[in-house]
Structures are given as C-alpha cells and as structure tokens.
Amino acid sequence: MTTEPDNTTPSTSSSTSTKETTSTKTTSTTPPVTSPKGSISTTPSLSISGSCASFYPINQPMVFTPTVTGPTKGSLVFSIIGNALPKGISLAVTTGVISGTCPTVGQYSTILSVGDSTQTAMLPLSFNFVEVSTITATPKGAVVGVPYVTTLPIQGGLGTRVVSDIKGAPDWLSITPYNNELTLSGTPTSSGTFHISVTITDNYGKNT
C-alpha cells in the first residue's frame, strides 16, 4: 500500500482577542484654603524732632523748642547727654526748651534726650554761635562848613558788608562800609545832634 503524502494543508484558524482597557481620569479639585483676614495693630513710639537755626548771635537771647510726638506713659523728662551746653545756655527739663545768651563764639554739638517711664527718644543738635557785625564806637563831632571824615570799626560778621538801612542821619552825611570799618563823611550844613541807626547786612543777615 502506497501512502501518498497528504498535500492538503490543514487550515489553521487564528483568533486574536483584544482586550480594551478604558481608563477614567478623575481630577480632584480642592478649594483653596483662605485664611481669615486679620489686622495688625502697631503703636507709634515716642519721637522728638526739631532743627537748629543756621547760627545764633552771641550776646543775644536764643530759644530752641523741640517737638515731641507719640504716646507717653507718665511725665516726660528731658536731659542733655554727651557734650554739655555752652556757657549761658540751659535746658528746661520738663519742656525741652533750650534758651539763654551765649557770650562765646563756637560750634557746640550735643544730644537732647526725652523719656517717660518706658521709652526714650534722642535728637542730635548743633548750635553755631557767631559774632555778628556790630559797631560800638561813638563818632567824633563835626563843625559846620568843614569837611568831615571819621571811621568806626566794625566787629564780627562774615563776608561782604552792605549798608541796607540808615535812620536819623542828616542829608549831608554819607555812610559807607569798607572792610572792617564804617566811614562817615560829608560837610555839615547845619548844627545839631543826630542819633543815627545803621543796619549792616552781611552773610549772617541784618545787624544794627
């Protein structure tokens, strides 16, 4: 018996199974946490302020008054710390007013302090005492019809001096500042006694 090969290729049934996976994306939204609004209360502190004049003439009264702000507990007490005030100048410890008459030229720096039972504030100060332009000499007498010239020394002051005002002078009299002197000149036309006031302006201002 002859056996012939079977040329019939058996059919193969191939089955592919696809499994679909469905994923669901879930987004979780968490509402932001809001902190309750609050307020911060700050209490202003004690402070002191004030500005000195650019200069104070010696031998003339001066006053400096500070300004104090802020809450206080109890009475305020003022004091000078550091360098002392110059001669003739004093401090009122209950008001902080600095006043007096200084006889000496110079610049003085110090610190004004103010405090109550719990807090303290400080203010740096600088006082500049200067000698302004002054004339203390008395002019010599004049004779009617005779040319008259006399000079008076000008003490103190700073910079160029200018006569800004003259009161009580007769028409024939000319008054001119030059360097450290004041020159009076002219020819008297009538007799009499004249009380003359001269205002000189320099870098420190007007001084009679």
- pLDDT digit string, tens, across residues 110-141: 999 999 989 999 999 999 998 887 777 888 89
Average pLDDT over residues 41-56: 84
Are 102 and 129 within 8 A, CB to CB? yes
Question: Which of 33-42, 91-100, 139-148, 168-177 has the least mean pLDDT?
Answer: 33-42
Q: Of the CATH numbers 2.60.40.10, 2.60.120.260, 3.40.50.1820, 1.25.40.10, which one belongs to the domain with range 47-130? A: 2.60.40.10
What residues does each domain of the chain span? Answer: 47-130, 148-207
Instruction: Report the C-alpha gap between 129 and 53 in whole angstroms.
Output: 10
- pTM, two decimals, is 0.60
The DSSP secondary-structure symbol of 67 reads: E
For 186, the token pair is 């002219």
pLDDT tens digits for range 1-32: 333 444 544 444 444 343 444 433 433 444 55
Name the maximum alpha-carbon separation found in the chain: 186
Please report the pLDDT score of residue 35 as a whole number: 45
Amino acid at 180: N
Choose among 91, 74, 93, 75: nearest CA to 83. Answer: 91
Give the whole-number percent of the chain exceeding pLDDT 90.
44
Please report the pLDDT score of residue 179 as a whole number: 74
Paired strand residues for 80: 112
